[in-house]
């Protein structure tokens, strides 16, 4: 069942970026983000240059921009925090559209937005142009500890399984007339979340025991290996 899981971010294509080795793309993403994070917030031109480079990579990938933009909703918490920061930060105050805002807060907000936007867009581009299994193989080639790679492999494999079970629980609640319209219904959501966690934990235990019964010793067998 693992063959069909973990591909929601991937965009099927045949661009040079799709064909590039996964470990090189991972190294490129890591290097790019290290440079972005190390850039001072007031280097506006540098962030503009980074964005142009990233847009060039997106164009090379042939992934539709709308495909990436729809998935950048994950950045919303960073955007909310950045919008609040100029109002709560200390320091010199400046007038912007009739509002008194903190100058250091504005600068920090720009840094957060710029870094988050570049990071999310770069990560989504990597995910859109690289199959999950190729990413895991790239991590192994980069000598990431085998146990961590295995944990990520199972996360990719069973993410859709857990998500599907969560959706079925939601449908079951709604079929009984439940609707989470106000905080009074939150305890029901909390109990459902707890039940989902317990089911996922028990499934993990069963999978682990099944692996042990088949000779698992802490390392995954080579693909295509036979006795």
The pLDDT tens digits for 117-166 are 999 999 999 999 998 888 888 888 898 888 888 888 888 778 778 888 88
Query: In which residue are the tokens 């200390």 written?
Result: 90
Contact 102, 31 (CB under 8 A): no
pLDDT of residue 222: 55
CA distance linking residue 23 with residue 224, whole number of Å: 22
Contact 5, 156 (CB under 8 A): yes
pLDDT of residue 38: 94
User: Where does residue 102 fall: left (phi above 0), alpha (psi -120 to 50 degrees), or beta otherwise?
Assistant: beta
pLDDT in tens, 5-35: 446 778 888 899 999 999 999 999 999 999 9
pTM higher than 0.85: no
Q: Among 2-6, 86-90, 111-115, 169-173, whose mean pLDDT is lowest?
A: 2-6
CA distance linking residue 26 with residue 24, whole number of Å: 5
Compute how many other C-beta atoms are within 10 angstroms of the C-beta atom of residue 137.
Answer: 17
Confidence of residue 219 (pLDDT cuts 50, 70, 90): low
Confidence of residue 4 (pLDDT cuts 50, 70, 90): very low
């Amino acid at each position: 069942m693992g063959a069909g899981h973990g591909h929601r971010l991937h965009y099927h294509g045949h661009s040079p970026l799709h064909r590039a080795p996964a470990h090189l793309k991972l190294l490129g993403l890591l290097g790019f983000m290290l440079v972005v994070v190390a850039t001072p917030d007031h280097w506006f031109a540098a962030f503009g240059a980074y964005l142009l480079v990233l847009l060039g990579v997106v164009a090379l990938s042939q992934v539709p921009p709308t495909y990436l933009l729809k998935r950048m909703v994950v950045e919303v918490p960073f955007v909310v925090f950045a919008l609040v920061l100029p109002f709560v930060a200390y320091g010199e105050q400046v007038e912007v559209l009739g509002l008194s805002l903190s100058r250091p807060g504005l600068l920090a907000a720009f840094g957060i937005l710029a870094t988050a936007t570049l990071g999310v867009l770069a990560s989504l581009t990597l995910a859109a142009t690289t199959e999950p299994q190729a990413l895991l193989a790239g991590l192994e080639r980069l000598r990431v500890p085998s146990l961590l790679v295995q944990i990520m492999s199972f996360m990719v494999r069973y993410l859709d399984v857990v998500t599907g079970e969560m959706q079925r629980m939601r449908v079951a609640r709604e079929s009984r007339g439940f609707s989470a319209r106000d905080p009074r219904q939150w305890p029901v959501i909390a109990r459902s979340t707890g039940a989902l966690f317990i089911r996922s934990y028990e499934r993990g235990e069963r999978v682990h025991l099944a692996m042990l019964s088949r000779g698992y010793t802490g390392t995954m067998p080579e693909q295509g290996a036979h006795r």
